[in-house]
A and B are shown apart, each in its own frame.
Chain A
């Protein structure tokens, strides 16, 4: 079974802080994704990566950056956290572009 592990289930940070969310997958998948999920807005893609050191913007990249130094690890960075970034963040990985994505359990992030 694919295992996607997110480093924290719950996180509370302050406005202006730099925040790191970590994600690790154990299936040697090429592709990794970061989403946020908000009530009424569904799942929205922030960034994705098709290979190590490669990244592409998703639908809502503003205020975020990512890092993929190793194949199994994909980090999401909130450069200067703001209250409107309070959300559930989900990491996913897939073997190929048109293969199903497998998700971690999410990080519920609150920015105060």
Chain B
């Protein structure tokens, strides 16, 4: 069965303290792995797409990487404005419908 699992559920960091969020997936024939950021009361905002193992994408303090089993979202020297819930998602192998992970809620304290 296709599945996407994120860990940890919640993460609290001090400003400047780098860390990584994990997204494990079991989707045969992966056709893309998507990362989103969601602020409270708003819709998810698209961040990155990764298509093949070894691929990396960067945007400001965020870097997403992909292996054959998982993806990581690395946050370097985070700031309070990076506080949000980060979601990963992958299309189901047979239908293309997105499966979302439960998300990691990141809080960055000044």
Residues of A bordering B, CB below 8 Å: 4, 42-43, 45, 48, 58, 90, 92, 97-106, 108
Contact = CB atoms under 8 A, between A and B. Distances in A.
Contacts of B102: 42
B34 A100 contact: yes
B59 interface: no
Interface residues of B, number: 20
Contacts of A97: 91, 96
Contacts of A106: 41-43
Contacts of B71: none
B46 A102 contact: yes
A92 B56 CA distance: 25
Interface in B13-32: 31-32
A37 B15 CA distance: 29
Given A42-B102, A103-B43, A104-B43, A58 B97 contact: yes
Contacts of A100: 32, 34, 46, 49
B46 A43 contact: no
